């Protein structure tokens, strides 16, 4: 399975387009390489980006919640009402809608951060701060990859 990996910063051109990094384009499903799904992050002043496969998986998880619960209603409303399917041109460029740029405080440059099965788009300063805070928290709490990998191995036994 292809994953969204690494960090890239790209300028927004005069027409308001930004280029999705080629490594990210290669992580998109082969039958859907010219479309990404964008929506406001529920946790950060950033944009979440993913494939239509990922958004379908999110829909399934939301659908598994109690249909009369506040969680189901809140997730469905907060995500699906703001999802923006976006087409990539031949060079991998796309427009970030103004409401998403405003949410992420993006002006002339966008930073893409790989998150495995999805990616985030940040303003460059916010991306750097987020990376630093993530690493600091993991170091402070003495979290290691070994700790999460061993938990997963125990689940599989």
Residue 92: give its domain's CATH number.
Answer: 3.40.1550.20
pLDDT band at 1 (very low <50, low <70, confident <90, very high): low
Number of domains in the chain: 1
Is 139 a domain residue?
no
141 falls within a domain: no
| Domain assignment present for 151 | no
Query: Looking at per-residue confidence, does 108 or 145 come out higher?
Result: 108
Structural domain includes residue 156: no
Does 61 fall in a domain? yes
Degrees, nearest 5: CA angle 91-1-48: 60
| Spatial contact of 149 and 61, defined as CB atoms under 8 Å apart | no
Residue-level pLDDT at 156: 63
Tell me if 41 is assigned to some domain: yes
pLDDT tens digits, one per residue of 92-121: 999 999 999 999 999 999 999 999 999 999
Note the pLDDT of residue 32: 83
pTM for the model stands at: 0.89
**Is residue 20 assigned to a domain?**
yes
Q: What number is the average pLDDT over the span 46-71?
A: 95
- The parent domain of residue 46 ranges over 7-123
**2 part of a folded domain:** no
pLDDT over 70 at 66, yes or no: yes
């Amino acid at each position: 399975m292809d994953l969204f990996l690494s960090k890239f910063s790209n300028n927004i051109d005069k027409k308001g387009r930004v280029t999705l990094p080629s490594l990210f384009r290669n992580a998109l499903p082969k039958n859907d390489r010219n479309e990404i799904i964008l929506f406001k992050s529920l946790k950060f002043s950033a944009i979440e980006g993913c494939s239509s496969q990922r958004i379908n998986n999110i829909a399934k998880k939301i659908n598994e919640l109690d249909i009369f619960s506040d969680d189901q209603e809140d997730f469905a409303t907060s995500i699906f009402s703001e999802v923006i399917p976006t087409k990539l041109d031949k060079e991998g460029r796309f427009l970030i809608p103004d409401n998403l740029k405003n949410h992420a405080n993006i002006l002339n440059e966008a930073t893409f951060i790989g998150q495995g099965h999805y990616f985030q788009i940040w303003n460059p300063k916010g991306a750097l701060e987020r990376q630093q805070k993530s690493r600091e928290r993991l170091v402070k709490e003495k979290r290691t990859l070994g700790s999460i990998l061993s938990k997963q191995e125990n689940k599989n036994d």
